[in-house]
Amino acid sequence: MQIGELAKGLSPEFITRFNDVPWKQIKGMRDKVAHGYGTIDLDRVWSTAQENVAPLLKYCQSILDDDR
């Protein structure tokens, strides 16, 4: 949820520049988890956390490293 919330604060320019990340889907998943919208697929949430968070962290770190 925190990643999705923070993604909502990204500027359109940032999202366009770093469009390798599915920002819209990240924000949408946050909304579904936060508000319930029926049922939450816990298996999908778990697999997303296990498979996608580490690569996203690595990608974001590379952006920060390149910007220094």
Q: Which residue in the list 17, 30, 44, 68 is annotated as catalytic?
A: 30
Cα pseudo-dihedral 33, 23, 13, 11, rounded to 10: 10
Closest CA to 18 of 51, 49, 62, 48: 62
**Known catalytic membership, residue 17:** no
**Known catalytic membership, residue 35:** yes
Q: Which residue in the list 17, 35, 44, 68 is annotated as catalytic?
A: 35
DSSP state of 63: H
Catalytic residues: 30, 35
